[in-house]
Amino acid sequence: MIVLDKQSALFTLHTRNTTYQMKAGAHRVLLHTYYGPRLENEDLSRLIRGADRGNCPNPSEAGMDRTFSLDILPQEYSTCGVGDFRLPSIELELPSGSRTADLRYTGFELRKGKYALENLPAFWSREEEADTLVLFLEDAAAKVAVELYYGVLEDCDLITRAVRVVNKGDETVRLCRCASLCLDFPQADLDMITFHGRHMMERCPDRQPLRHGVQSVGSTRGASSHQYNPFVVLCGRDTNEEYGTAYGIALLYSGNFEAAAEHSQFESSRLVMGVNPYHFGWDLAPGESFTSPEAAMVCSPNGFGPMSRQLHRAIREHLIRDPYQGARRPVLINNWEATLFNFNEEKLLSIAKAAAPLGIELFVMDDGWFGKRDDDNTGLGDWFVNTDKLHGGLEALVPKVQALGMKFGIWVEPEMVNEDSELYRAHPDWALTVPGRAPARGRNQLVLDFSRKEVRDYVYGQLHKVLASADISYVKWDMNRSLTDVWSAALPAERQGEVFHRFTLGVYDMLERMRQDFPKLFIEGCCGGGGRFDAGMLYYTPQIWCSDNTDAIDRLRIQYGTSFCYPPDAMGAHVSAVPNLGTGRTTPLDTRGVVAMSGTFGYELDLAETTQAEKEIMARQVAQYKRCWELVQKGDYYRLTDPFQNPLYNAWSHVSPDRRKALVSVVTGSTYATPPFMTLRLKGLDPALRYRVNDGDSYSGAMLMEAGYPLPLPQDDYLSFQLLLEAE
């Protein structure tokens, strides 16, 4: 709900549990007044005060009033070069060479429903589920207009933001920075949680107090990256899972990003988030505009748990576009860890024939099926079937798999090219390379210039033929290297700062075309595993391969960190063989199943190497997942322990929205002599109901949450068990 006070230019955005407010104050400066737990009918601009502060300039309109300074005021969209020395939201390079932006409020527009962004991902809703507010700002001297977009999804406690910059002048203006979100706080006694990592160990939470100065995370790799995630949390120093205020802020963007927080000299703080200004510059000719990616934020007055569940609900219901539309996604098996590049039709069919009796429903053919692709040095870019491996092509193979009662999927990596490929030999200029320099390689491959439409059209044309040649229901879209040598032959020297962003827009364009042309196709995102796990990709790919690390114990940490923003049903998770290829660790098959069952369940191993007893366990795992899938895909997720802090065991649960069913999962750590007795306190149950546990004894919800459930003493390393709770 949006409440307007036109007379005082006060704008209040209400969600179910929170309030966000701003006001056009003196000299038409748009001030941020409040974001926090819901308040009613309050003008909180009274909390904003001025003072004569040394070295804090005053705008010309203030005259002799030395108490009015942009360097002190909480701003809704911070400026640069005109008196505010904190983090800027926007930076313009004007025809004179000056780099300033001075924005003043000029008006507003209120719309029913949620705004959409052209060529960019955004949360969506039915008209009655959301409202949109647009605030208009202008730099009169630069003749540049800025439109601030706010979407309010009241039931999800979600507020979204985006920015559109328009050149209304007669000369070209360069946009050097354009943040999606600026969020000012009157206090600085906050912690900032970021999610760092690396390939095969992504999204590890890191909680640090805001210190004086600027602290930031971001990516300059051309993807949101394994190293940092475009999601951050600001919270009180004592905030935990169930207590304290927590702000979760996500950027719907899959390219270079920056999230920067500043603790100011006057003990206030500011968060700015958006496209990374590194190697960014966007020329706006007269009449042209630039639109920033969308940012989304929630405020939880009751800790991290509700914050995450608010985000999960919003992502499930208003971001992901799932061709299964809430139905159970099929349990899959992927051949990569079983075969690598060494396979043919007979080998693939042998895996499928062994998988079908276990209840597995989707066979995914990974890397190596196309071009001359026998290793990772050749073939990328040649998207036609290798008929030496697959006699008769997909037209022959897919019906044979379907005859076993299984769907069929393939792996692709459209953004990449090998120099040993027909595509590169015909179009070497289509790769990102810098004139006069030998290019850097990653995984022995180069990156195609997806900022160019002709490149995308060619690659998509090849993929379209493949997808139309047989009944393919699933695509795993991979990206296995970061961007270097970022220079496009299609742009002049002065516009090379546009390449990174245009590349990301090109990826979105390809994905949207694929979705439109093949509406029943399910696309899973992947970037060397979890290197592009962000809200922007979830708009196009309903799930993302969480990590190339399939070790069950490492996955406890990876999936824990991922859950702070992203719902479990967005996390691609598989059972793989042991010893694990990445870590060498051996864990029980039961445990690998329990961990994978907390995401989108599947297998990635050679069934020919499994025993009959292991196959029986796998069949039980598949049956258990099919029994409990609604809890994972639709339920509320509760983190019961922190795997980074608790070496004894890790536990989590999925609870149905009506609180009548729950699936509790527990994985123990390494055993040692005389371990303590462990009692697990559950969350999210109805205290007034009684729950039968695994069809056995029943307990009250109050007892299970307050007193807890006794855990058995572990008899070996990395054991697991699950509790299925059903209300009587």
| Enzyme catalytic residues | 534, 614
Contact 405, 363 (CB under 8 A): no
Q: How far, in Å, CA of 273 to CA of 296, rounded?
A: 10
* Exposure letters 662-686 (e unless 16+ CB within 10 A, then b): bbbbbbbbeeeeeeeebebebbbbb
3 state SS of 517: helix
Q: How far, in Å, CA of 73 to CA of 595, rounded?
A: 48
Residue type, 630: E
Contact 231, 292 (CB under 8 A): no
| Conformation bin of residue 97: beta by default, left when phi > 0, alpha when psi is -120 to 50 | left
Q: Six-digit token pair at 423?
A: 């595509």
Q: How far, in Å, CA of 146 to CA of 104, rounded?
A: 9
Q: Which residue has the tokens 């592009």?
A: 532
Q: How far, in Å, CA of 599 to CA of 569, rounded?
A: 5
Question: Which distant-in-sequence residues (6+ apart) come within 8 Å of 388 by Cβ?
Answer: none
Q: Which residue has the tokens 């049956």?
A: 623
3 state SS of 6: coil
Neighbours of 392 (CB within 10 A): 11
Q: How far, in Å, CA of 245 to CA of 182, rounded?
A: 19
Torsion angles phi and psi, residue 471, rounded to 5: -85, 80
Q: What is the DSSP letter of 15?
A: -
Q: How far, in Å, CA of 216 to CA of 278, rounded?
A: 13
Contact 521, 513 (CB under 8 A): no
Contact 514, 525 (CB under 8 A): no
Q: How far, in Å, CA of 131 to CA of 116, rounded?
A: 12
What's the Cα-to-Cα distance from 605 to each of 376, 405, 581, 618, rounded to whole Å? 20, 20, 11, 12
Q: Which residue has the tokens 């897919």?
A: 398
Q: Six-digit token pair at 567?
A: 């719902």
Contact 443, 415 (CB under 8 A): no
Q: How far, in Å, CA of 597 to CA of 574, rounded?
A: 8
Contact 304, 564 (CB under 8 A): yes
Torsion angles phi and psi, residue 401, rounded to 5: -70, -40
Q: Six-digit token pair at 311?
A: 């985000």
